[in-house]
Amino acid sequence: MAIFNKNTLTQISGFDNQIIAGELVYNQRTFYNLTLNNSDGTPRDLTGATITSQILRRQLSNVRDSRYGLTFDIADYSPPPSPVSLTITNQQLASGTFTLVIDESTWAVAAADAQLDINASNCVGFSGNVKIALPASGSTPAEDLIVFLLFLVRSDGVTN
């Protein structure tokens, strides 16, 4: 798994926000079981929440492995692609848990993509978020919790 430079993650999610970041192989499928907790460590009740997730292809440049982890610049991809919705399953909202499904094969990355070349300087990149929209409850107003996402996609040396 890739280790990302803290400054790189900060340019995606800001200084104080949660982020899930990882490096995937072309056509890889995986998942993340997530639990949201209260400040005292107990599971947060998400009853009534709507959970959605989307990612968008980004242009990465200056990708390099530094002493403190991967660094790169990130920008909008041209031409602008459509966002990709990620699947949220296994929702146990009362106990604050759900599963984020990652299926890179559905992200419209073509096997012939030059950024998948084994010797490519800059790999394929996606950023996005998981949004947990909590409804208003009594005197508590509606609230959106955001978890940022960052995924790099590389060739396994077989593809492209």
Render pLDDT for 137-159 as a digit per residue (tens, 0 to 9).
889 899 999 999 999 888 777 76
CB of 151 closer than 8 Å to CB of 22: yes
Residue 160's pLDDT band, with cuts at 50, 70 and 90, is low
- Please count the structural domains in the chain: 1
Tell whether 159 is covered by a domain.
no
**Region 86-100 average pLDDT:** 96
Tell whether 118 is covered by a domain.
yes
Tell whether 126 is covered by a domain.
yes
pTM to 2 decimal places: 0.87
Query: Across the beta sheet with 29-35, what order do the strands follow?
Result: 29-35, 97-103, 87-92
The DSSP bridge partners found for residue 29 are 103
Tell whether 157 is covered by a domain.
no
Which is higher by pLDDT, 153 or 5? Answer: 153
Q: Could you list the residue range(s) of the whole structural domain that residue 13 is in?
A: 6-134
Tell whether 146 is covered by a domain.
no
Which is higher by pLDDT, 56 or 14? Answer: 56
Question: Using one digit for the tens of pLDDT, what is the confidence trace for 36-76?
Answer: 998 899 999 999 999 999 999 999 888 887 777 778 888 99
Confidence at residue 120, expressed as pLDDT on a 0 to 100 scale: 75
Contacts of 100 (CB under 8 A, 6+ apart): 20, 31, 32, 34, 53, 86, 87, 88, 130
